[in-house]
Amino acid sequence: MTAFATPSFFFREAALQIDAEKERQALGDRLPAHVGIIMDGNGRWATKRGMPRAFGHRAGTERLRGIIRLSSDLGIRALSLYAFSTENWKRPKAEVDALFGLFMEYFVNEVEELHTNRVRIRVLGDVEGLPANVGAAVRAAEKKTAENDGLRLNVALNYGSRAETVRAVQSLAREAASGALSPDAISEETLLSRLDTAGLPELDLLIRTGGEQRLSNFLLLQAAYAELAFVDTLWPDYSDELYMDTLRDYARRNRRFGGLK
């Protein structure tokens, strides 16, 4: 039985095409432990249909359920989703408001089911800078699911890799200034342990949908040796099958980490 074979999932998405257990056995340890996704292309998806951009964001949110469920059923340990960047505040207020409305809806409607399926939620990014209701909702979701042992689902909200690095460096500097930490004792591990992704497996695969080939300030340090996959499909059209194709492509890659293999 798959982790997500609950009645509510069955009724909402009856036509599950992919046999996750079969795929899991076929790919085995060639599956990534940690997948990051830059979910790009919602706006263009809506514009192509003559609809407002917010319509695309809603369609994009609809895709989350399938991708999260498949990741969980495949036994992927961590999934990090880029939902709102520190740069996205530059967008018109109406679009930002629509996005935060959707995030609220998502956290209110989906957390119970994620919890049932043992998903553990963490928010990456500056939670203090989020609207108060969104901040409270994400903290509540983290708290509720903190003891779960299933998929580690990380939602990057008000996230920027440079801002995250600044926060990490500030925390190290504060500790050094207090005398509790010697600057010479700061290692790569020390720095990584202060990032929002502390304690998660190394990022193995970073996917960007929507056709752009850039990282847009997402997980820059964590991606040091990640495999990159740039997919032309707009996020709302990125189906379970296409995700599976990306994972199969990843499984065929030869990762050398600077050595010879």
Name which of 243, 65, 53 is nearest 153 in CA terms: 65
Q: Residue 121: helix, strand or coil by DSSP?
A: strand
Crossing angle for the helix pair 53-74 and 93-116, to the nearest 10 degrees: 20
Q: State the sign of the Cα–Cα–Cα–Cα dihedral 132, 113, 80, 40.
A: negative
Q: Which helix (H) or strand (E) holds 251?
A: helix 240-251
Q: Tokens standing for 128?
A: 């203090």
Assess whether 40 carries a catalytic annotation.
yes
If binding is defined by CB under 6 A, does position 37 make contact with ligand IPE? no
What residues contact 255, with CB distance under 8 A and at least 6 apart?
Answer: 225, 227, 261
If binding is defined by CB under 6 A, does position 79 make contact with ligand IPE? no
Q: Of the two residues 193 and 233, which places its CB atom closer to ligand IPE in the complex?
A: 233
DSSP 203: P
Nearest distance from C-beta of residue 42 to Mg ion, angstroms: 7
Q: Which residue among 18, 83, 219, 247 contacts ligand IPE (CB under 6 A)?
A: 83
What is the rounded CA–CA span in Å between residue 119 and residue 107?
Answer: 13
If binding is defined by CB under 6 A, does position 61 make contact with ligand IPE? no
If binding is defined by CB under 6 A, does position 82 make contact with ligand IPE? yes
**Range 196-235, binding ligand IPE (CB under 6 A):** 210, 212, 214, 216
If binding is defined by CB under 6 A, does position 103 make contact with ligand IPE? no
If binding is defined by CB under 6 A, does position 88 make contact with ligand IPE? yes
Q: Tokens standing for 166?
A: 């600044």
Assess whether 29 carries a catalytic annotation.
no
Q: Residue 258: helix, strand or coil by DSSP?
A: coil
Q: Of the two residues 31 and 205, which places its CB atom closer to ligand IPE in the complex?
A: 205
Nearest distance from C-beta of residue 196 to ligand IPE, angstroms: 15
How big is the chain by its Cα radius of gyration, in Å? Answer: 19
Q: Which of 19, 40, 42, 237 is catalytic?
A: 40
If binding is defined by CB under 6 A, does position 43 make contact with ligand IPE? yes
Q: Which of 73, 88, 154, 254 is catalytic?
A: 88
Q: Of the two residues 45 and 250, which places its CB atom closer to ligand IPE in the complex?
A: 45
Q: Tokens standing for 25?
A: 């056995």
Residues serving a catalytic function are 40, 88
Would you tell me which residues interact with ligand IPE (CB under 6 A)? Answer: 38-44, 82-85, 88, 99, 210, 212, 214, 216
